[in-house]
Amino acid sequence: MKLLHLLYESKGDPFGIGGVGMRAYQIYNRLKERLDITLLCKKYPGAHDGEIEGLKHLYVGTESKNFTKTLLSYAYHAGRFVRKHGNEFEIIIEEFSPAIPTFLGFFRKRPLVLQIQAYTGKNYFEKYNLFYSGFLYLFERFLPPLYKNIIVVSETTRKRYYLENRDRKIAVIPNGIGGEYLGCEPGESDYVLYLGRIDIHNKGLDILLRAYAEFFSTFPHIKLFIAGDGRDKEKFLALLQGCPEFVRQNIVLTGWVEGERKMLLLKDALFVVVPSRYEADVIVALEAMACGKAVVSSDIPELRYIPHNGMGISFPSGDAGALASAMKDLVLDSKRSLMGQKGREWVKEYTWDRIALRYENFLYAVGKDYR
């Protein structure tokens, strides 16, 4: 099968790569021997068409330091590419983002699959100006129903978009973990860990800093490790400067981590914190559980499965005081290790090998129906 995937996050992009890109690489690295895969990516300074990890990359759009400009340019050029070259592929996958309106919902020359990883809703109005937020909110609500084939990463996401199976094919295919995480030996060092993209509002990093300052007053010997990168990095560093110096000295910024270093950070943390205001199916939470770690998460619908299954504890989203209390409680909780064990057992069904097979089967089913 020859497929084209519109992927707006790719390795090497200075704006960073999050769960969307990580999912694509994990799945396609397992399918590239069986499928002919082309990734149509957002152009960035220094990007050149070619292969990365054995996957063909094509770049379209405008090289710019302005993030919004690059997204809109990518939307236009990616849509144009599909309309011109779509017939050269057997199936096309589009990653949905309302900030990248390709308007391909009516494209019918080849089977087209929309992959949806998150829902933001009214949170846009807390992050952007009214005009831009309004467009994003409307596009998020009205563009997905135009597509006949849809992948969502969770049942919660499907419900948020009010997507039903009537007249369309929908698959819930979650994110996953590398099997190597299940084999690591959990340890406990003197830090709690946030791992993910540096996006202050989305990931709740402002909440985390306020919570840690309060947590520090009780547990000054426990550090906060923040592992990640992203376009909010400079703003985050400025936010960090607003913390008292004695608190700042206990916060360690590791930068972007992957591979063995990432697994080491996860397995030796006391626990992992996911303070997001809104989310998709969080890969880091799954990886933390695979390493036998309890998770402190916000109580948004996408993360409620964590406390409901005894794999961690939650706090009211946006409440720094409640997050600080939850972190203190978990340090003192004798069941912390048991939570990690439950998480590791639960996540065994979510290896990327299994996820990739489900993904491949869905694509073949879509292609078969089209014929």
Q: What mean pLDDT is predicted for residues 16-35?
A: 95
What average pLDDT does the chain have? 95
How confident is the model over 207-235, as pLDDT tens digits?
Answer: 999 999 999 999 999 999 999 998 899 99
How confident is the model over 246-263, as pLDDT tens digits?
Answer: 999 999 999 999 999 999
- Between 308 and 65, residue with greater pLDDT: 308
pLDDT over 80 (residue 165): no
**DSSP characters over 106-125:** T--SS-EEEEE----GGGHH
Q: Which of 283, 312, 265, 259 is nearest to 177 (CA)?
A: 283
- Would you state the structure tokens that stand for residue 186, as one six-digit string? 């959990």
At 370 the pLDDT is: 73
At 64 the pLDDT is: 84
Q: Which residues pair with 253 in a beta bridge?
A: 226
Measured CA to CA, the distance from residue 286 to residue 23 in angstroms comes to 12
At 108 the pLDDT is: 85
CATH, range 179-348: 3.40.50.2000
The proportion of the chain whose per-residue pLDDT surpasses 90, expressed as a percent, equals: 91
Domain spans of the chain, in order of start: 2-176+351-370, 179-348
- Is 174 strand, coil or helix? coil
| CA count, 13 A, side-chain hemisphere, 330 | 32
Q: Which H or E run contains 354? A: helix 352-370
The answer to whether domain 2-176+351-370 and domain 179-348 are alike in fold is yes
Task: Calculate the alpha carbon distances from 53 to 25, 59, 149, 222 in Å.
Answer: 9, 16, 28, 38
pLDDT over 90 (residue 66): no
Sheet holding 295-298, edge to edge: 251-255, 223-227, 191-195, 272-274, 295-298, 312-315
How confident is the model over 296-349, as pLDDT tens digits?
Answer: 999 999 999 999 999 999 999 999 999 999 999 999 999 999 999 999 999 999
Q: Which of 36, 32, 60 is nearest to 48 (CA)?
A: 60
The proportion of the chain whose per-residue pLDDT surpasses 70, expressed as a percent, equals: 100
- Would you state the structure tokens that stand for residue 352, as one six-digit string? 């990327």
pLDDT over 70 (residue 371): no
If one counts every other C-beta atom within 10 angstroms of the C-beta of residue 179, the result is 13
How sure is the predictor about 167, in pLDDT bands with cuts at 50, 70 and 90?
confident
- Would you state the structure tokens that stand for residue 57, as one six-digit string? 């990359």
Entry pTM: 0.93
Helices H / strands E in the chain, number of each:
15, 14
- Residue type for position 256: W
pLDDT over 90 (residue 104): yes
pLDDT over 90 (residue 280): no
| CA count, 13 A, side-chain hemisphere, 329 | 13
Domain 2-176+351-370 has CATH 3.30.70.100: no
Residues in the chain: 371
Q: Which residues pair with 74 in a beta bridge?
A: none
Q: Which of 181, 101, 85 is nearest to 146 (CA)?
A: 101
Q: What mean pLDDT is predicted for residues 146-160?
A: 95
How sure is the predictor about 166, in pLDDT bands with cuts at 50, 70 and 90?
confident
Beta-sheet pairing, 149-152 with 112-116: parallel
The phi, psi pair for 109, rounded to 5°, reads -70, -25
Q: What mean pLDDT is predicted for residues 142-153?
A: 96
Beta-sheet pairing, 55-60 with 36-42: parallel
Measured CA to CA, the distance from residue 59 to residue 154 in angstroms comes to 29
